[in-house]
A and B are shown apart, each in its own frame.
Chain A
Amino acid sequence: MINLTINGEPHELDVDPTTPLLWVIREQAGLNGTKFGCGIAQCGACTVHLNGSPIRSCRTPVQAVAGKEITTIEGVGSIDGELHPVQQAWIDEQVPQCGYCQSGQVMSAVALLAKNPSPSDRDIDLAMSGNVCRCGTYPRIRRGIKKAAIAMNGVADSGEKING
C-alpha cells in the first residue's frame, strides 16, 4: 500500500510501486487533467507539483512520492472553484489551441510565479522550455505569464517593470 495526498485528499493505493505517478493519477485517482505525451520526461504534458515544485509524473515512480503532497491541474485553483490567476490569464489571452499540453503549461507557469513573481523573458524560457506545445502557443503563454504576474503582484507592484 502506498499513501499519498493528491489535491489535499489522502489516497491509499494498491499499486506496483514502480508505476509512474502519471498513471496512478489518471487511472487510480481518476484525475484526467494530467496528460500523457511522451513518457520519457521530454514534453511536460504530465507536469504536476510535488510539494509545490513541478515534476514530470511520467518518470516519477509512485513509491518516490509516498507520503508527499501532489497537486494536479484540478487542484490549482481555489477550493471554491475560483481560477488561479494563471488560468484566468490563459482565458484572457486565449492561450490554448488543442489544449492537450495546457495542463502541464499551467502547472509549470504556476510554479514559476510562486518562486519568481516577476520573471524576465529569460526566466520564462528557462522555466517553460520543458513543456512542448505542438500547436505553438508559446507567444501567448509568455503573454499569459506576464499578465498573471501583474495580477498576482497586485496594483501596488504594478509599477515595477516586467522584463520584456
Chain B
Amino acid sequence: MGKWSRRAFISAGVLAGGVVVFGVAIRPGNRADKVAGLIAGEDDTVFNVWVKIAPDNRITAIVPHAEMGQGVHTTLAMMLADEMDADWDLVDFMEAPAHKEYANYALAKGYAVGDVDFPSWLIDTVDGFFLTATKAMNLQITGGSTSVPTTGQAGMRVAGAATKAVLLQAAADSWKVPLTELSAQKSMIVHSGSSKSATYAELAGAAAELSQPVKPVLKTPDQYTIMGTDVQRFDVPPKVDGSARFGIDAVLPGMKYATVKASPVFGNAVKSFDESSIQDMPGVRKVVNLGDAVAVVADGYWQAKKALDQLAIEFERNGNETVEQSDIFNQFAADMDRAVSDGEEITDFEKGDAGAAMSSADSVVEAEYRVPYLSHAPMEPMNCTAWLHDDVCELWTGTQNPLGFAAEVASALDMDTANVQLHNEYLGGGFGRRAFPDYTIQAARIAAEVPYPVKLIWSREEDMRHDHYRQASISRFKAALDSSGKPIAWINQYVEKYDPAEAPHIPYGIDNQFIHYAESKTHVPWGFWRSVDHSLHAFFTESFIDEVAIQAGDDPYKYRRNLLEQAPRFRDVLDLAAEKSDWGAPLPENWGRGIAIHRSFGTIVAQVVEVEIVDGTVFPRRAICAVDAGFAMHPDGMKAQMESGIIYGLTAALFSDISIRHGAVAQSNFHDYQMLRMNQSPEIETYIINSGEKVGGAGEPGTPAIAPALVNAIFNATGKRIRELPVRLHDLTNEDLKSKDVA
C-alpha cells in the first residue's frame, strides 16, 4: 500500500477537483454525493464511489473498467466483496459511468505517493489529456494490465475493507458492545456474546454517517474466501444467448446508419468527390466530408456501404504515396547504422563494459531479427452511435477509455465535456485498439450534421487499414561467450522505443550489457497492441538467447536456467514449464519443442511449445504455460487470459503482417490478414504459481513469450532459424533443412 495520509487524501481531493477520488475514506457529504445521483437507486446508501448497499442487502461493486472479455467486472467485484466479507450470491456489479469522479488515474496520482505501479505510457496519456482537454481528469482506462494490480489492489480492496470497518463500528455503537466482540460474515454483522445480528443493509444508514478509516487493515491470503476462487463470470450468460449488448448493437428511435472511407495513405485530405453520383441511390440520406474521410449516411448499413463503394473520392497527396515496406526497413537499418557510426546510440540499459568484454571473448554470436507492423483486428469492427440533441452529445460505443473519448469528442465539437455523455457497452475485443477515439470523433461529427441519431460502422477493410499499428522493428544482437560457453557480454540495438521501458531487458545474469536504440519515425500511426513493446522484444531476446545456447552447445532450457541463479522467481517459473512439458522427452519425427520466458506487467510467464511440421505447415500442437502473477485472484480467469494471450501471439507469429504498399496498408480483411483457427489451435495447459509477490497483470503477459517459444520449436524440428516474422513467409518444406543433431 502506498504511504498516504488522511491529510494528503483530503487536500488533494479538494484541490484537484476529482483527482483523488478512489473510493476509500469518502466521507458522507463529501465526494460521493456528486456521483450518488448516477449510481444510487431510491434508498441506496452510497458509501463511496466503489460500493453501494441496497435495502435488500444486495451489494453493487462499481467497477471503473470496461469489460472486454478479461472478466474484469467479476474479478474486481470479488476483491471488494472478499474484503467486505460479503455474501457473494448477493453481489452485483456495475460499470462506473463515464464520470470524472471515477478516473482511475486518481488512483495512481492521488494515492501513489507509495509503491502503486503505474505504466508510464498511461501517465503520459493522462497528462496529455490533463493538459489539453480539461483541468479535470478524463481517464478511466482499461489497458496495460492495470485493473487488478492498481484498481483492484489499491481501490476495490481498500474500499471493501473500509466499508466493512464502518459497518462494524455502526453495530458496535448501536448495540453498545466492543468492536472486538463483533465479526462480519456473509453480509451480516454478528455479535459473539449475544444472539444479536444485523444485515449490512440494516446498518448501512448509520454506517454512512461515520468517517471511514483511512488505512483499513486488509486480509492476508489465508483469510481470503472469495479471492482465489473460480466464481462464474458475470458477463458469460448474456454472451451465449445473443443478449449481450456491444457498441454495434445500440438502437435508437429514428436512427440512421453511416460508414466511412478515409484516405488510404494516412492523413491525406479529401480533394474532391461527386456527391451527385450517389445521392439518388436507394436509402442515401447524406454525404459528409470529414476532411480526411468521407461518410455516407443511409437508411441501412448496406445502403451506405454500397453508395460509398460507388463514390469516387480523390485525396490530396502528401509525399508518402511512394513509401513501400522495404523502404521502411531500409530506413530503420540506415538509422541504426548511423546511430552507431555517429556515436549517437540512445542508451536503454548499461551494465559493466560490454565493448571491452566483447574483445576478450572466446567466441561471438550475432543475429538480426525483424518484426512487421501488426493490426489489432478485434472481432467487432470500430463503431459508435452518436446523437446530438438538446445541446448534449450522447455516444454509445465500446471503449477502453470512456472519459478520454468524451473529452476528445467535446474538443472536436467545441462543446463542454459535461455535455458529452458516453454509454460504454461491451467491447467486442479491445487489445489496445479501443483506446484510440478516432471512430468516436467521426461518429460525433457526422451526427452533428443531421437531426437524428447515427450509427457509424466501419467496414472490416476500414478497420484494418486505419488502425494504430504495433510498430515494425529491427533488433540486432551480439553476444560474447567465454571458453565454457557462458555469455560475458550482451549488446543489443533496436529501432523505435515506445513502452514499457523495461521491455527489452533480460533477466539473465550477464555481467556486461549494453542495450540501446535508434529513432526512426515513419508515417504509420502507432498504437498500444496487446503487451505493447513486450510483444516484439520477447521475440528478439528469447530467440537470441536460444541461438546463444545452441552455439554454446547447451540445452536451451538448462542454459537459461544456469543464467537465472540470481533470479529465483524466474527460475521457478521456467522449471515448472519445463517439468510440465516433459522437457527432454523424445518427440515424433517432424516435431519440435521450444521454450521461452519473459516478464511483463509484473507477471512472469514461461512457455513451452510443441510443433508438428506437416508438408511445410506449422501446427502448434501443445502449449504449456507457467505463470507467476503473485496471486491469481480468479485462477480460471487467469488461465483463460493465458490461453487468449497465447493464441493472439501465435496468430501474429504465424500469419500476421501489415505491410505498406504505395504508402497505404496492403492488407484489408481476414483473407490476407489471417487468423489462427480451430484446426491450428494447440492444446493449452496453464500452471499457476502463487508466489505471494506483488500482484501483476493477466491480460497481456500471456502474449510475449509465445512467439519465441514457437520459433525455437520450429528450429528444434527443422534446424531452420526464423529471424523474421511472420513464420508464414518462410519455406519450411525443404527436408534438407532438417539437421539431425538438433533433434
Binding site for B on A (CB under 8 A): 15-16, 19-20, 23, 27, 30-40, 42-43, 45, 72-74, 76-77, 83, 87, 90-91, 94-103, 106, 124-126, 128-142
Contacts and interface: CB of A to CB of B under 8 A. Distances in A.
B248 interface: yes
Contact of B427 (A96, A98, A128): A98
Contacts of A124: 678
B264 interface: no
B505 interface: no
A114 B48 CA distance: 51
Interface string B611-645: 00000000000000000000000001000100111
20 contacts: A16-B282, A16-B303, A37-B379, A39-B669, A40-B671, A42-B669, A97-B644, A99-B246, A99-B426, A100-B378, A100-B429, A125-B678, A129-B677, A132-B677, A134-B379, A134-B429, A134-B675, A136-B644, A139-B681, A139-B683
Interface in B667-698: 669-671, 675-679, 681-684
A73 B243 CA distance: 9
A153 to B, nearest CB: 20
B378 A136 contact: no
Contacts of B300: 15, 19, 23, 27
A9 to B, nearest CB: 15
Classify the secondary structure of A's interface with B. loop
Nearest to B380: A100
Contacts of B245: 32
Interface string B49-72: 000000000000000000011110
Contacts of A72: 242
B557 interface: no
Nearest to A104: B379
Contacts of A73: 241-242
A117 to B, nearest CB: 19
A64 B36 CA distance: 53
Interface string B407-442: 000000000000000000011111100000000000
B233 interface: yes
A77 B381 CA distance: 27
Interface of B: 68-71, 232-233, 235-246, 248-249, 251, 257, 282, 300-303, 377-381, 426-431, 457, 459-460, 636, 640, 643-648, 651, 669-671, 675-679, 681-684
A11 B565 CA distance: 70
B236 A96 contact: yes
B242 A74 contact: yes
A119 to B, nearest CB: 12
Contacts of B431: 134
A90 B241 CA distance: 10
Contacts of B379: 35, 37, 43, 45, 98, 100-101, 132-135
Contact of A98 (B301, B429, B460, B683): B429
A40 B381 CA distance: 13
B233 A94 contact: yes
B240 A138 contact: no
Interface centre among B257, B644, B683 (most CB of A within 10 A): B644
Nearest to B255: A27
B236 A94 contact: yes
B123 to A, nearest CB: 27
Contact of A37 (B233, B243, B381): B381
Given A74-B241, A91-B232, A98 B380 contact: yes
B697 to A, nearest CB: 16
B69, B282, B303, B684: most-surrounded residue (chain A CB, <10 A): B69
A94 B460 CA distance: 28
B381 A36 contact: yes
A38 B669 contact: yes
Contact of B671 (A42, A91, A96, A125): A42
A17 to B, nearest CB: 12
B712 to A, nearest CB: 21
B229 to A, nearest CB: 13
